Chains A and B, each alone.
Chain A
């Protein structure tokens, strides 16, 4: 089918000549209406409040403005800090998430073991122990998945100094001064749980033959998980994992609330000096949109490459759609 011809969708047939004419006229009318509405209800009120004046936009857009260099240098610093926190949180939550996923799979297989060769007392102790361990990890996963990230970050920032005091008895030298670590730790706690759940559902969705073949080759349970299940799960869940990167990048903006000088916080400081909230927040939002949009495009590309690749299992479990998850 040619690209420029409108295709039939679920709701509409491919339009014929008459429908196409009606469509064209309708589009023009509605398009003009939309532009008029935008002019009347967005442009005019903003113009009346003089929000388009060079005084407010100049420091952000006009290179000849005296403040332009300083503002953009600060925004650049903020962007670097945002990316730094995001990169650290991404690496940490991926490593911890993989470990947690493997741990949960191992505990689950441990629970099915009955230890029949051991003495009854030892047998039942071990079985209770594996039940308890499984319950504890399940509980932690549910709790940290159900809590708002900002609450986690907030309490990390409150608890870390307290714990540091308790452990080292020296309140001055061991408290991490940089609030970046609070953001990174908080984001890692939340996202490692989410990533672990994504990977676990990927591993559990794999065909049972994978596991059977691995154990008939003589691989231990841990080896099976590490060498057979985890790599395949990573590959299947790649789009969902990349979407999670967008979430982490977006959530670094929560650092502004605990006074970490990332992009948004720099924006706040700029507003404090120049008093142009609308303009500065718009610029900050545009920077975030560009970053996240390119990451989402990367996710789509990954899914496209994945659907093309040849050496994959015949029956892939359905990967989740690339609809970016909300935070």
Chain B
């Protein structure tokens, strides 16, 4: 019993570190998810367009980013980009850096992490969207065309609603995986997120490993487990209605 109360004391002692780490991780996740959805949709549009060069470019993007480990991409962003003289300054979006303070700082590592995470996740987002659109039977769109719907009407009323239903579960699991991948940011110069706190508390701080592990884990599980359960519910409901 003694050790349990000791553990609890350590966790309680560092509650502020865990809380601020959670916020930094959440910021990385929100920004990267937005970026990944944007880039991913663009790549998906390129991949389903009727223009061969665009399709080829989209396919190349997906093949490259899906088969490279995120660690390599992170190293690339954190150590090769500065070599090229880039600080990812285009991510210092005015207005947005008021909310997400780290975007505007002189240290570029937060921006590098968001950039790498967005580019990597975008490949998987693209595949989820594309598989959703391909899951719509071709007869649906043919029927819409023969009813005289234009291309935009066809997309808006027939194809996209059905594609959305097929894509929502894969998209959700991509986002969950992205939240877990955001832990890598702490190993590439982003100070103060959950994983970097874990590292500094246990190595430099010399704190016992288990209570810190529990505190850090709670931070990640708050994000991933509810999303996973929600996704299971959506999947079950879809399985029944189909």
Interface residues of A (CB under 8 A from B): 6, 8-13, 15, 23, 26-27, 30-31, 34, 45-46, 49, 51, 142-143, 145-151, 154-155, 158-159, 162, 246, 250-251, 253-254, 256-257, 264, 267-268, 271, 277-278, 281, 284-285, 288-289, 291-293, 296, 321, 323-327
Report whether B198 and A151 are in contact in the complex, using a CB–CB cutoff of 8 Å. Answer: yes
Q: A10-B140, A142-B225 are in contact. Are A277 and B80 (CB under 8 A)?
A: yes
From known contacts A146-B220, A277-B83, infer whether A9 and B69 are also in contact, taking CB-CB under 8 Å.
no
A residues within 8 A CB of B142? 8, 13
B69 and A10 within 8 A (CB): no
Measured between beta carbons, the chain A residues less than 8 angstroms from B216 are: 151
CB pair A289–B195 under 8 Å, yes or no, is no
Chain B residues with CB below 8 A from A30, complex form: 51, 53-54
A150 to B187, CA, bound (A): 10
Q: Residues 187-199 of chain B: 1 if any A CB is under 8 Å from the residue's CB, otherwise 0?
A: 1000000010011
On whether the beta carbons of B84 and A51 are closer than 8 Å, the reply is yes
**Cα of A327 to Cα of B174 in the assembled complex, Å:** 9
CA of A130 to CA of B203, assembled, Å: 40
B69: which of A145, A146, A250, A271 is its contact (CB, 8 Å)?
Answer: A250
Can you give 6 A-B contacts (C-beta < 8 A)?
A: A142-B221, A146-B221, A246-B67, A281-B75, A281-B80, A288-B67
Q: How many residue pairs bridge A and B at CB < 8 Å? A: 173
Q: Is the CB of A10 within 8 A of B134?
A: yes
| Smallest beta-carbon distance B18→chain A, Å | 13
Q: Out of B48, B72, B83, B221, which one reaches A284, CB within 8 Å?
A: B72
Do residues B141 and A10 form an inter-chain contact, with CB atoms below 8 A? yes
Is B138 touching A264 in the complex (CB atoms < 8 A)? no
Let me know if B230 is at the binding interface, CB within 8 A.
no
Residue contact A46 to B84, C-beta cutoff 8 Å:
yes
Interface centre among A151, A251, A288, A292 (most CB of B within 10 A): A151
Interface residues on B, range: 35 or more
A23 nearest in chain B by CB position? B50
Given contacts A27-B51, A323-B170, contact A147 B220 (CB under 8 A): yes
- Measured CA separation A23–B216 after assembly (Å): 54
Task: Give complex CA distance A23, B225 in Å.
Answer: 47
Most buried by B among A46, A147, A254, A288: A147
Q: Specify which chain B residues have a CB less than 8 angstroms from the CB of A327 in the assembled complex.
A: 70, 177, 180-181
Chain A residues contacting B220 (CB-CB under 8 Å) are: 146-148, 151
With A257-B187, A327-B180: A150-B48 Cβ-Cβ less than 8 Å = no
Report chain A residues within 8 Å CB of B80. 277-278, 281
Is B159 on the interface with A (CB-CB < 8 A)? yes
Known A10-B138, A27-B53; contact A264-B69, beta-carbon cutoff 8 A: yes
B84: which A residues are within 8 A, CB to CB?
A: 45-46, 49, 51, 278
User: Are A148 and B67 neighbours in the complex by a CB distance under 8 Å?
Assistant: no
Complex CA gap A147/B198 in Å reads 13
Expressed in whole angstroms, the Cα–Cα distance for A142 and B221 within the complex equals: 9
Proximity string of chain B (7-24) to chain A, C-beta cutoff 8 Å, 1 when within and 0 when not: 000000000000000000
Pair A293/B63 contact, Cβ less than 8 Å: yes
A159 to B181, CA, bound (A): 22
Given contacts A31-B53, A146-B220, A147-B217, A326 and B228 within 8 Å (CB-CB): no
Partner-A contacts on B (CB < 8 A): 48, 50-54, 57, 63-64, 66-73, 75-76, 79-80, 83-85, 121, 124, 127-128, 131, 133-134, 136-138, 140-142, 145, 151, 154-155, 159, 170, 173-174, 177-178, 180-184, 187, 195, 198-199, 202, 209-210, 213, 216-217, 220-221, 224-225, 228
A285 touches B72 (CB 8 A): yes
For A250, list chain B residues within 8 Å (CB): 67-70
CB distance from A20 to the nearest CB of B (A): 10
Indicate if the CB atoms of A325 and B173 lie closer than 8 Å: yes
CB of B53 within 8 A of CB of A12, answer no
Assess whether A151 is in contact with B195, with CB atoms less than 8 Å apart: yes
Contact B202 A150 (CB under 8 A): no
CB contacts (< 8 Å) of A12 on chain B: these are 50
Decide if A285 touches B76 in the complex (CB within 8 Å): yes
How distant is A310 from chain B, measured CB to nearest CB, in Å? 26
A289 in complex: contacting residue of B51, B63, B85, B178, CB < 8 Å: B63
> How distant is A88 from chain B, measured CB to nearest CB, in Å?
18
CB-CB under 8 A from B154, the residues of chain A are 11
Q: How far is the CA of A251 from the CA of B73 in the complex (A)?
A: 13
Which residues from B are CB-within-8-Å of A51? 84
**In the complex with contacts A12-B50, A27-B52, A254-B71, A150-B209 CB distance below 8 A:** no
Q: Is the CB of A326 within 8 A of B181?
A: yes
* Distance to closest chain B CB from A33 (angstroms): 8
**Closest Cβ–Cβ distance, residue B41 to chain A (whole Å):** 15
Contacts A253-B72, A264-B72, A296-B67 given: A150-B121 contact, CB under 8 Å?
no
| Best-surrounded residue of B68, B70, B124, B225 (most CB of chain A within 10 A) | B68
Q: With a CB–CB cut-off of 8 A, which chain B residues contact A31?
A: 52-53
Contact of A271 among B53, B68, B79 (CB under 8 A): B79
A82 to chain B, nearest CB (A): 10
Q: Give the CA-CA distance A293 to B224 in the complex, in Å.
A: 29
Question: What 6 A-B pairs are tightest by C-beta distance, nearest first?
Answer: A148-B183, A326-B177, A31-B53, A292-B67, A146-B224, A253-B69
